[in-house]
Structure 1
Amino acid sequence: MDSADKQSELNNRANFATTRWSIVVSAARESSPESNAALETLCRAYWYPLYAFIRRRGYTPDDASDLTQEFFSRLLEKRCLVGVDSAKGRFRSFLLASLQNFLANEWDKARAQKRGGGAASLSIDAVSAEASYLLEPAHDLTAERIYERRWALTLLERVLQRLHNEYVQAQKGRLFEALRPTIVDPSGAAAYRDLGVEVGMGEGAVKVAVHRLRKRFRSLLLDEIAQTVASQEEIDEELLALMAAVGG
């Protein structure tokens, strides 16, 4: 490994030292405003995929809502973080394994102590969650596949929202909405001409704008993924998992 490679490796390690997942791991040892915020951010991103997993396991909407709430209450209190190590897996894998253990061992206790009995909780819109669940594929997707699919779609929605916010802040919200479909489909010359008419730009300028939009989308996507894995190598693996989940 030459000096440039060594420096790149050091930079990667430095970047992963401050991901949300690593901050969450530190919360198992000592709580802080930073670790609490990181954990709550991750929980908000994953609550619906976990709710969908519980529903697909056969629980009623009310029970699924209570169980999801109680699970996150315990997680936010750090009771589920004892012994956690980011080097042993991705956050989403840790979360699903923790939930499965919770469902296997804590269902009766959780039912007796509705919504954590006043413990730390995460606000969950049960009505919205069930409405979303009713739109899930009705065929034989397993609970695990539903979880993977919702993880992927939720992550993509979060990336698109971040990208939208950036364009709005730059006073380019209209441009973003016009070019948004090109993120997944770069289109052809005719489409670029039509887009140019819509946003008042030439065909060449539209091509440049689309290139920048897609490049920024990929950058934000990689950043979101990096927040929940322990190493650079796992990013490519998560990208493949994401594409498989959406494609399935």
Structure 2
Amino acid sequence: MNGSAAIQSANGGGMQFTTTHWSVVLEAQGETPAAQRALETLCRTYWRPLYGFVRRHGLGREEAQDLVQEFFARLLEHRNLDAVRREKGRLRSYLLVSLKRFLAAERHRASGVKRYESGPHIPLDELLESEAADFELAETLSADRLYERHWALAVLEQVLGRLESEYQGAGNAALFDQLKEFLVGERGRPTQAEIATELGMTENAVKQAFHRLRQRYRVLLREEIAHTVAQPGDVEGELRHLVAVLRG
């Protein structure tokens, strides 16, 4: 996926900011089922940047998996809202800072101490299928830069997944499969004229369909980013950051 091309497709276009997963967590002062479910959902969605960060520090697959699992368990059990505020409510920054502190503490942990086992289990085994390809890039990036890139790509994957589900639900899966290549900047993609011929559409109809897909993509991307920040005013800044990461 050409992440930079995909995320740039979201420039322009607005959204209505509503209560998000992250704001639910931030506003929860006690243990509420809604906040717990929201944070667990975010952990499941954005586990890969954390796992990649740990692996980049030289840990093996199993040890990294165990550490990320334990980190999630502690995070879900003991939210530090003061730390969230210091990171200006950005989930991306909060998780990285929290993980660094967790790893530093682990280095001082006695080898015989039993690992923390409380909290829900995040099934990381199910999420590691594409690990080999991901870590080819790790040789050229620092741990922090790898984390940022994996984070940006995770956002794009979520958005494309939501968009695909919408098109499938409307019976337009074949159209989505063709048009998504224009969003993500795939090389060797067919022309709009070729897509029109294959799908039995006019070229103008394909252009209009892609315009609608891109407009919807813009809305979903901003919604996904809104899930990871505390204030609606932070969405544009986070979007610019992701663009810079993927261009970098």
TM-score tier (shorter): 0.7 to 0.9
The equivalent of 1:3 in structure 2 is: none
Structure 1 position 132, deviation (Å): 4.0
Q: Does 2:20 correspond to 1:19? A: yes
Q: Is the 8 A contact 2:73 2:120 kept in 1?
A: yes
The equivalent of 2:128 in structure 1 is: 128
The structure with the larger Rg is 1
Unaligned stretches of 5+ in structure 1?
1-11
User: Any idea what the Cα deviations from partners look like across 1:104-140, whole Å, max 9, x if unmatched?
Assistant: 11342697334x3354322211782683466431433
Unaligned stretches of 5+ in structure 2?
1-14
In 1, Cα distance between equivalents of 2:89 and 2:117? 31
Structure 1 position 192, deviation (Å): 1.9
The equivalent of 1:151 in structure 2 is: 151
The equivalent of 2:228 in structure 1 is: 228
Q: Does the C-alpha gap of structure 1 residues 40 and 24 become closer, same or farther in structure 2, counting only changes over 3 Å?
A: same
Q: Does the C-alpha gap of structure 1 residues 33 and 164 become closer, same or farther in structure 2, counting only changes over 3 Å?
A: same
Please give the root-mean-square deviation of Cα atoms over the aligned residues, in Å. 2.7
Structure 1 position 15, deviation (Å): 3.4
In 2, Cα distance between equivalents of 1:133 and 1:46? 18
Query: 2:144 is matched by which residue type in structure 1?
Result: E
Secondary structure, aligned partner of 1:15: coil
Q: Is the 8 A contact 2:74 2:118 kept in 1?
A: no
Give TM-score scaled by structure 2 length: 0.83
In 2, Cα distance between equivalents of 1:246 and 1:111? 41
Deviates more, 1:95-104 or 1:177-186: 177-186
In 1, Cα distance between equivalents of 2:216 and 2:61? 38
Give TM-score scaled by structure 1 length: 0.83
User: Any idea what the Cα deviations from partners look like across 1:167-211, whole Å, max 9, x if unmatched?
Assistant: 000011111001111224599xx9222111111111111110010
Deviates more, 1:232-241 or 1:147-156: 232-241
Q: Does 2:37 correspond to 1:37? A: yes
User: Any idea what the Cα deviations from partners look like across 1:191-244, whole Å, max 9, x if unmatched?
Assistant: 222111111111111110010011111110010001111223322221121122
More helix by share: 1
Identity %: 43
In 1, Cα distance between equivalents of 2:111 and 2:31? 24
The equivalent of 2:50 in structure 1 is: 50
Q: Is the 8 A contact 2:40 2:76 kept in 1?
A: yes
